[in-house]
Structure 1
Amino acid sequence: MSPTVLRIVSRSSPMALAQVARVRAELAAVHPELTTTVVPVTTAGDRWPGALSALGGKGAFTKEVDAALLAGEADLAVHCVKDVPADRPLPAGTVFAAFLRRDDVRDAVVHPGGLTLDQLPPGSRIGTSSVRRIAQLAVTHPELVCVPIRGNANSRLAKLAAGEVDALLLAVSGLERIGEQDRISEVLSVDAMCPPIGAGVLALQCREDDAATIAAVTPLGDPDAWRETTAERMFLHVLQGHCNSPIAGFARAERDGRLSLRGRVFSPDGKTVLDAHEWAGPLDPATLGTSVAVALLRQGAREVIDAIPH
């Protein structure tokens, strides 16, 4: 029996609510008879101004959402996959029911004067707290200075306008979701800035015993996004990276059914760069993710990751 009302829990930031609006619209198209309501929560990651590692990493953005779902206060959670830890399983009793069609995985430069990374003068302050971005900038643009900056995309744009930094690095998909894509001065290729695991993918999480909700949201799932995300999350799971380890990677499903995965591990200063890229052929996505992770472990990824304080 299908539900008539679906309660959706999400972070309360403008971007998170924009993501929920997409889910509600897609649900309405498939189930016009279904009423959806939003249960907004503020997470520890939203409240904490300092480094995420002090809160135990990315789980800081998902714990309160998971708790509301498990307590029965909501039926469905909407997550950015990149914010859901892959080094440990989902909370017991929950399951991903669908991954939505993937948005742009690339990073963008936002500069008030429209300058690109190559055009920024030495010493320019780049606002980012992402260890992945910091390590890759250290490789390609060591003359630029990374300045820690937290908060949602809207608050980061406000800090840029206030002159706290000279430029920002933000996800293209995030800027598109909040209608700020016109601020982009450069879109970085995946070769110039390898994306985070799960970039551009929204996940729908349900209680595993809630068959009605799972059945209602499963049609929203995209098969390519499922294959790509499964490979990427298994890659990260096998590496067992922590919140201070710069790990990047992305899978790509081709029209002919082939699946590839590129994975990269960096030291924080960018002086060590490990790279692996494989095609699945007949391998299933999880096996591909494992294979790429093992290739990097053979190159010394375990030692690089374990040498980073966290």
Structure 2
Amino acid sequence: MIRLGTRRSALATAQATLVADELRGRGHEVELVLITTTGDVNKAPLEQIGGTGIFVSALRDALLADEIDIAVHSLKDLPTAPIEGLTLGAIPVREDPRDVLVARDGLTLGELPPGAVIGTGSPRRVAQLDALGLGVECTGIRGNVDTRIRFVTEGKLDAVVLARAGLSRLGRLAEVTETLDPIQVLPAPGQGALGIECRADDTEVLAALAPLEDPATRAAVTAERQMLATLEAGCTAPVGALAEVVEGEDGPELWLRGALGQDDGVRRLSANGAVDDPESLGKALANELLERI
């Protein structure tokens, strides 16, 4: 029996169920173990309660205490610093990583009037939306997908920005009024990808997870997360990143785009590198962004 730990939210349990079904389809017995995290019970703004790790620390504690065998994380919520004794046993195929708009009256971002209020608790999204110069106003919000969309349907906000992957996994893409082009808003590093964490010495679980691994997704998110890790050491600005494996002249290569929010706007750069060395690409692009500050 594989004990799969997950947060209690509808999205977290939907993601965990996807992984559980994959494992069950390969002959494994799986039990879902619901765990409450700091981010689930403390509804203060993320920056006040220490946004990094608040949705994953309880799951990691349960892994280290041998209360669960694997934990399914939204990879964008997972801190970049490694934890001794734990490893990402598999990173499955990524969902669409882009952000989406859910707006009143079916409006797109460009159709929202000046002064329209958009709900998002993400400094990354705020910085990039402000840089577009559309005259919209961003306001911080917390809550699950239902809560956030209800702000729009009840007329409290003109729109909210959410991750497309989450709405897809919940079967709610019909409520999207626009999928935002990464040229406008780059997603969070790792957005749309799941990270399946386990104990590093649990060979049986690692063998069970191996068929779920997608090498292209791992390469892409590794570059994005390395870029974030390097930037975290040099600044506290909001970061967007998106990497993709593409076909180059000499075979597959990795393309990485990065965005760094600053008081005077958003710095954007891109670079390409080897698929088998995503860390170097992430570090190089981060250092180039830091030089532009």
TM-score normalised by length of structure 1 = 0.89
Pairwise mapping of residues 256-275 of structure 1 onto structure 2 (< 5 A)? 256-267=251-262, 269=263, 271-275=264-268
1:23 counterpart (6, 9, 19): 19
Pairwise mapping of residues 205-284 of structure 1 onto structure 2 (< 5 A)? 205-240=197-232, 245-255=237-247, 256-267=251-262, 269=263, 271-281=264-274, 284=277
Matched letter for residue 234 of structure 1:
Q
Q: 1:62 is matched with which residue? A: 56
Query: Can you list the C-alpha shifts for 1:125-175, whole angstroms capped at 9, x where unaligned?
Result: 101010011001111144111111101112212232222211110111111
Pairwise mapping of residues 27-38 of structure 1 onto structure 2 (< 5 A)? 27-29=23-25, 31-32=26-27, 34-38=28-32
On the 8 A contact 2:252/2:275 being kept in 1, the answer is no
Aligned-residue CA RMSD (Å): 1.7
**Structure 2, gaps ≥5 residues long:** none
Percent identity over the alignment?
37
Query: Can you list the C-alpha shifts for 1:67-115, whole angstroms capped at 9, x where unaligned?
Result: 11111110000001100122xx222210001111011011111013100
Deviates more, 1:162-171 or 1:181-190: 162-171
Deviates more, 1:159-168 or 1:227-236: 159-168
On the 8 A contact 1:259/1:285 being kept in 2, the answer is yes
TM-aligned CA distance change 1:65 to 1:25, over 3 Å: same
TM-aligned CA distance change 1:275 to 1:243, over 3 Å: closer
TM-aligned CA distance change 1:241 to 1:155, over 3 Å: farther
CA distance in 2, matches of 1:139, 1:8: 41
TM-aligned CA distance change 1:244 to 1:15, over 3 Å: farther
* Distance apart, 1:62 and its partner CA: 0.7
* Distance apart, 1:179 and its partner CA: 1.1
What secondary structure, in the 3-state scheme, does the structure 1 residue paired with 2:281 have? Answer: helix
TM-aligned CA distance change 1:243 to 1:181, over 3 Å: farther
Q: 1:196 is matched with which residue? A: 188
Q: 2:291 is matched with which residue? A: 298
* Distance apart, 1:243 and its partner CA: 10
TM-score normalised by length of structure 2 = 0.94
CA distance in 2, matches of 1:203, 1:243: 25
2:161 counterpart (159, 169, 176): 169
What secondary structure, in the 3-state scheme, does the structure 2 residue paired with 1:254 have? Answer: strand
2:46 counterpart (41, 52, 73): 52
Q: 1:6 is matched with which residue? A: 2
On the 8 A contact 2:97/2:191 being kept in 1, the answer is yes
Deviates more, 1:106-115 or 1:275-284: 275-284
* Distance apart, 1:232 and its partner CA: 1.0
